[in-house]
Structure 1
């Protein structure tokens, strides 16, 4: 299940982005304008941050900053409990799992989904739009929806990896390939964090998105829109079975080491070796998926 920011988290993000120093006085109206909210939710957010030791309230004077967040913002909001569960994301995973288990037929109506998962109309439209954007449902002419035949079998996931095996290593050999040092460093820090904290510290979606972000970053550096667009399309439609495969997380620390090796080679502009390392990485992933075939059924 993923999370979304509370108002308190949004206030904290502004404090960090705009470098509010210890002792700074906060204006509720300023934050209300920034977040397009009234002052009431802002004041409640201030009170929450005061409970977490970030702010202090002085009688007749208002709130002041008492602590500056130096670490990762995402880690800070989770550790302080400044997040809330996203109903849409939760139902998205339930629908995916029910489909893979065969509990949802090929065709369904919005009314059926709304009732089955106890959704409001707004939540229903959000989850339907999310699934449609990812390509695993299609609108039927006139009425209802149907599931796409793609990516509901282990073989379909394997097919996406075989396409990637053919394309991604070639992208690193493009004549104009150039990856920025800051992109390499950002990717490296993500992998080092995973190795240090282990896979249990990440949600399923975070773990999936980490891999997506890494591969997109190094392929985007090719500057070739055909490589970039193809990978983006594949990443959208493979999520359904990718999540199921993450029931076995043992291979992700090995993936992190492989990602670091590829980054080191790209940093040294040894693209041919990086391309071969990427080919081996993807081939290894295919082999690992074959071993957990039962999880995908």
Structure 2
């Protein structure tokens, strides 16, 4: 590929970072991040304290971007979650027949009362489209797969999308509508979270069980305490909160994935990415410790 192509992808990365959306390199001509899988983590370098993900390492720093995209025409992975965005991915049916994701999304908007606002939109090589929205403050959403509709996925926390300008053998991602990013509609927030399964679900994944009122109140109380804690005692407060929720996990009244996700969301409110790996390690250790000492639940009032 030519220097002109590499320069075009560098500009794409800088433009997305300029919009406040962290970027990470993907192998040229692919959707694969230039990083190792968790099961092959060397536990060295950035992973010395535990495996980190491209989402953890994605950057807004223009100097780092110029350096990274200076040697190859890397495709550009973009991370909506940390940027307060969500991408609705409307795909084409594999069989080539029947309604596509865009049609299904419009039908759902009519059924739920809509509206489906105009927003910044990117087309995909397969003929689909990515609709970019701003997530309302205080709302943290995970990516979903075929949850909203059979041909509609979402990209948010735990997932990534691709920037316009990324190239594949079959075509490229291209800017379709340069409208301002609209706020994610309430009816779509509801559709995205109702009975949602874990991010990047596989065929064997099971839906996360919604907590009952007792467990939900415990999650709200502990995570609110974490969010409000000023610098100085955060490690201790995070540890005790994770331990307490771990005890409920061990008592089988709270789903472990839900507890972990909510604690990570509370930590994200601190806006301290430099300590994210350590904070996530505290969550894992304390959740596990609490689960080994399950809380005795008597009438859900204990």
Larger radius of gyration between Structure 1 and Structure 2: 1
**TM-score, with normalisation over the residues of structure 2?**
0.28
Higher percent of residues as strand: 2
**TM-score, with normalisation over the residues of structure 1?**
0.28
Higher percent of residues as helix: 1
